Amino acid sequence: EIKKIIPEMELKLKFQKEPQNAQIYQTFDGLKTLYNEIIEILAHEKEDFIGFTLGEEEYKYSGAEHFFREYDVKRRALKIKLKLIGSEDQKDFMKKLVSSDRNITLRYLPYQMPTGLIIFADKVAILTWQEIPTAFVIQSKKIAENYKLFFLAMWKMAKS
């Protein structure tokens, strides 16, 4: 009887050990904090930066272009590769934006994602670029794994 209970208890403990929470980042300073955390995690985990972009919309707000240039300098220094999926109508804009960076690979789908999305380690960040940039970050190994699988499926369907 006890031999049956112990594996069940160990399984429950395993699931309890995996943290699950959510966090909100607001303003450019908040997103700067988030992107710095992403860089640290990706450098430590030796992972690529993967996600879906909103493309031109991200650059409409003052400070956004400077924000991304600053971030890209840090990302390049750590040799973190970037894989992004955008919509086909963003192709010309995105190619001009990243043409000089060999560590960025872009692919395109015929439709646009409703928000920006970044998948890293056990986290998923959902971003909205408005007057007050906001990111909702979900920490859950299972959710992050599912979004990675979704990204990879979309990556296979997307075109260069």
pLDDT, tens digit (0-9, with 9 covering 90-100), for 9-48: 677 666 666 789 999 999 989 999 999 999 999 999 899 9
CA separation for the pair 12, 7 (Å, rounded): 9
Is 9 contained in some domain? no
pTM (predicted TM-score): 0.81
Domain count, the chain: 1
Q: Mind listing the pLDDT tens digit for each residue in 134-160?
A: 999 999 999 999 999 999 999 999 988
- Indicate the burial class of 100 (C-beta count within 10 angstroms; 0-12, 13-18, 19 or more): exposed
Using the predicted structure, report yes or no on whether residue 94 has a pLDDT greater than 70.
yes
Question: How would you list the strands of the sheet with 104-109, edge to edge?
Answer: 21-26, 134-139, 123-128, 116-120, 49-52, 82-87, 104-109
- CATH number of the domain that residue 100 is part of: 3.30.870.10
* Domain assignment of residue 93, given as a range: 19-157
Q: Mind listing the pLDDT tens digit for each residue in 121-135?
A: 999 999 988 778 899
